[in-house]
Structure 1
Amino acid sequence: MEESQRNETVMQYMPLVHKVVHGLKINNRDYDHDDLVNIGVIGLMKAIEKYNDSLNVPFINYAYMRIKGAIIDEIRKTSRVSRNKIKAVNAYYDAINELQQSLLRTPTETEIMAEMAIEMSELKKIYETVHQLADVSLDDILFEDSTGETSLQGVMTDDAVSTADQLIKKEQLQFMEKAVKKLSEREQQILQLIYFEELSMKEVGYIYDISTPRVSQIHGKALLRLREALGKDD
């Protein structure tokens, strides 16, 4: 593809880049909107370079996944979460699964710590790690995008939302509402402040008169509990 033609294609699909950036709602303060758009454009250019008709996938669907993947990969690449911390989170999930099968109920924190042979301070660090990993919006953390399908019309206009998308979103919200009700009142309030009121961790800490690290621990714990609850409803 000639450079002029490639540039025209990039300009044609810039609304798609902005749509992806807006949809992800990245919480990482190291990136502003323009940064994410620039990363998305790189993903779009790779999509233009790599795409071929033999994929049997509409270009806009392919580009959507490439753009989204480029942004998420960049966020994860610059994350300060070490492999050991990721390993600890995975061990937490394994412990939860083992305990749920043996106890036939949700285990307590004391039981989780005993199963993992760790202290409360280490469990709090796991909550903080999950908080650090939550660089995308709540629904992206809890629900995997199974199709990534979109249309150029849907990108170019605000009101062109497909019936299928509406049904999927409605179903996700129903699952989310059921899961959120299982959280403590304070956990529910903190998620509300972070994801809907869009307050910073520091601002939430000020409201509750607790430290910012404590807010991140509660946030991480709430996300873990939500994922557990959603998993039971599958």
Structure 2
Amino acid sequence: MYKPDIGVTPEDRVHQFAPLVKRIAYHFMTKVPASVDVEDLIQVGLIGLMEAAHNFDASQGAQFETYASQRIRGAMLDFLREADWMPRNTRRNLRTIEATIQRMEQRLGRPATELEIAGEMNLPLADYQQMLDDARGYQLIYYEDYEDEGEHSQLDRFAADTEANPFHALDDADFRKHLKQGIDMLPEREKLVMALYYEQELNLKEIGEVLAVTESRVCQLHSQAIARLRGQLTDWLPANPGRKRKAKGSN
């Protein structure tokens, strides 16, 4: 039988769960453009935590941490709706990287190295890595992949609407199969970054400590891994130029 926390005040909960705000904020940072300041996320997350602490009804039997996590994320998402999103030129650069990687790996029959990709794009390695670094917020699936060309909010990528098309794709058995194969084909370091971030839920700083690299380098590796995977999953990303979603049962 559930027993409410007798005598626990909202202030007690805010003090106890303040580290949760910081952890959620840092975990968000790979999912948002570099223009978003983590301290801003922490501040709005703390506001969400305070609201959760004052509104929580322990008699309902829910765990406060679960309730607070939802409110903290909600506060951060509300803030992000007002934030500046990834510039169009950055988005175009990412599409170019994605297409270049796909073309090269089909030709080479193996993952292309950063130096090879930079060479294919006629860029110095440092410039290519800066493009990757600027690509924080690059995701495997976007809502706009399932929309017509035009003005659409990039914030939709964060929505928890399980009825949305991108999540239908993730539930598709063939998609999951190809995604697993794609991850298995990633270079070891990129594969490790994906595992540490999505399975172990480490933040950028923690992953950097594991790999003995900077947070910026972790962002680069994450962005490049996403570009490789998007290139390998072309049949499920219909809005990219020249692509059509593979119909179930087609060859």
* TM-score, L = length of structure 2: 0.49
- Quick one: which of 123, 129, 142 aligns to 1:124? 129
Matched AA of 1:122: D
- Distance (Å, rounded) in 2 between the aligned partners of 1:167 and 1:228: 16
Deviation at 1:34, TM superposition (A): 3.1
Paired residue type of 2:202: L
Measured after TM superposition, the shift of residue 141 of structure 1 is 5.0
Q: Which amino acid is 1:133 matched to?
A: G
Structure 1 residues 39 and 194 mapped into 2: Cα distance closer, same or farther (>3 Å)? closer
Query: Match of 1:59?
Result: none
Q: Does 1:180 align with 2:187?
A: no
- Counterpart for residue 95 of structure 2: 90
| Pairs aligned (count) | 159
1:186-224: per-residue Cα shift (whole Å, max 9, x none)? 211211111121111000111121111111111111111
* Structure 2 residue aligned with 1:226: 229
Give the partner amino acid of 2:171. I
Instruction: Give, as a single letter, the amino acid of the residue that structure 1 aligns with 2:84.
Output: T
Alpha-carbon distance, 1:185 to partner: 2.0
* Post-superposition offset of 1:143: 10
Q: Does 1:193 align with 2:200?
A: no
1:214 lines up with 2:217 in the alignment: yes
CA distance in 2, matches of 1:216, 1:202: 10
The CA deviation at 1:226 is 1.1
User: Are the equivalent residues in 2 in contact too, given 1:191–1:219 (CA < 8 A)?
Assistant: yes
1:223 and 1:205 mapped to 2: Cα distance? 18
Alignment partner of 1:219: what SS? helix
Q: Which consecutive unaligned segments of at least 5 residues does structure 1 have? A: 1-24, 41-70, 151-164
What are structure 2's unaligned runs of at least 5 residues? 1-26, 33-37, 46-69, 148-160, 237-245, 247-251
CA RMSD of aligned residues (A): 4.0
Q: Which amino acid aligns with 2:125?
A: M
Post-superposition CA distance 1:150-198 (Å, at most 9, x none) = 4xxxxxxxxxxxxxx6993433321211110110222112111111211
Corresponding residue to 2:81 among 60, 74, 77: 74
Contact (CA 8 Å) 1:85, 1:126: kept in 2 or not? yes
Paired AA for residue 78 in structure 1: D
Aligned residues with identical type, % of pairs:
21
Residue 118 of structure 1 aligns to a residue whose secondary structure is coil
Q: Which residue matches 2:137?
A: 133
Q: Give the superposition deviation at 1:99.
A: 5.1
Query: Which amino acid letter does the alignment assign opposite residue 231 of structure 2?
Result: E
TM, length-normalised to structure 1: 0.52
Q: What does 1:14-25 correspond to in 2, within 5 Å?
A: none
Residue pair 1:129, 1:220 contacting (<8 A) in 2 also:
no
Q: Which amino acid aligns with 1:210?
A: V
Matches within 5 A, 1:58-73: none
Confirm or deny: 8 A CA contact 1:128 1:217 kept in the other structure. yes
Match for 2:81: what amino acid? E
Q: Which residue of 2 aligns with 1:61?
A: none
Deviation sequence 1:107-130 (CA, Å, 0-9, x none):
554443233221000111122233
Match status 1:37 vs 2:44: no
Contact 2:102–2:232 (8 Å) recurs in 1? no
SS in 2 for 1:199: coil
